[in-house]
């Protein structure tokens, strides 16, 4: 059996009156993450961690922001395609651990639903998905609500 670890980091700017998509959900907030796709920073870091673990480069390589067909794409589709690529290499998810960094909104009430969405896409047990959230105590771009970032580490085996 082979096991591999992957790591992901992503950041998106926040804009007023823009939808805030996180973990496959649209959260109620006055600001939202902006990007070429739906800017779901959580799903993006999971994609990056999985792609890195399987030595498949990164999300920007697999799903470039120069591809007009991906403009506004639902990141759940990107995660589905990512796990298909990882599976083609003979790997499956052992576990995923993520941390979201944002000042507002509070995401703790939404974490169980996010975990269920992600586990469903990855076809893995919900217990294999860990999502945590933290603020930066009002410091930096996260604290000023100018952006949101996320980190992810994953373990795949095959």
16 is in an annotated binding site: no
Residue 49 and residue 131: Cα distance in Å, rounded? 14
The structure tokens 């998106």 sit at: 12
Our CA angle for 72, 130, 41, nearest 5°, is 20
The structure tokens 């896409």 sit at: 121
CA distances from 56 to 28, 42, 52, 128 (A): 34, 19, 6, 22
137 is in an annotated binding site: yes
18 is in an annotated binding site: no
Q: What is the mean pLDDT of residues 77-85?
A: 98
| Each residue's pLDDT tens digit, 110-134 | 999 999 999 999 999 999 999 999 9
112 is in an annotated binding site: no
pLDDT score recorded for residue 128: 98
37 is in an annotated binding site: yes
Stated pTM of the model: 0.97
Q: What is the number of domains present in the chain?
A: 1
pLDDT score recorded for residue 150: 98
82 is in an annotated binding site: no
Residue 47 and residue 7: Cα distance in Å, rounded? 9
Q: What are residue 46's DSSP bridge partners?
A: none
136 is in an annotated binding site: yes
User: Which long-range contacts (C-beta less than 8 Å, at least 24 apart) are formed by 58-65?
Assistant: 59/10, 63/37, 65/35, 65/36, 65/37
Closest of 72, 68, 41, 69 to residue 59, by C-alpha: 41
125 is in an annotated binding site: no
What is the extent of the structural domain holding 126? 3-157
DSSP 41-90: HHHHHHHHHHHHHTT---HHHHS-TT-GGGTT--HHHHHHHHHHHHHHTT
pLDDT score recorded for residue 58: 96
Q: What is the mean pLDDT of residues 80-88?
A: 98
Identify the CATH number of the domain in which residue 88 sits. 3.30.1330.50
Share of the chain above pLDDT 70, in %: 100
For residues 147 and 46, is the Cβ–Cβ distance under 8 A? no
29 is in an annotated binding site: no
41 is in an annotated binding site: no
pLDDT score recorded for residue 113: 98
Residue 31 and residue 15: Cα distance in Å, rounded? 5
36 is in an annotated binding site: yes
Rounded to 5 degrees, what are φ and ψ at 138?
A: 65, 20
5 is in an annotated binding site: no
pLDDT score recorded for residue 70: 87
| Each residue's pLDDT tens digit, 7-36 | 999 999 999 999 999 999 999 999 999 999
The average confidence (pLDDT) of the chain is: 97
């Amino acid at each position: 059996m082979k096991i591999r670890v992957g790591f992901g980091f992503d950041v998106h700017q926040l804009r007023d009156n823009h939808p805030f998509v996180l973990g496959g959900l649209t959260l109620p907030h006055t600001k939202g993450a902006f990007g070429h796709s739906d800017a779901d920073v959580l799903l993006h870091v999971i994609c990056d961690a999985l792609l890195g673990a399987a030595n498949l480069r990164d999300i920007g390589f697999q799903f470039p922001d120069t591809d007009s067909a991906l403009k506004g794409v639902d990141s759940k589709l990107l995660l589905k395609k990512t796990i298909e690529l990882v599976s083609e290499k003979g790997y499956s998810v052992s576990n995923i651990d993520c941390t979201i960094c944002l000042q507002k909104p509070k995401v703790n009430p939404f974490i169980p639903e996010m975990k269920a969405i992600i586990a469903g896409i990855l076809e893995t047990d919900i217990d294999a998905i860990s999502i945590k959230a933290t603020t930066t105590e009002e410091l930096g771009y996260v604290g000023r609500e100018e952006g949101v970032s996320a980190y992810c580490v994953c373990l795949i085996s095959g």
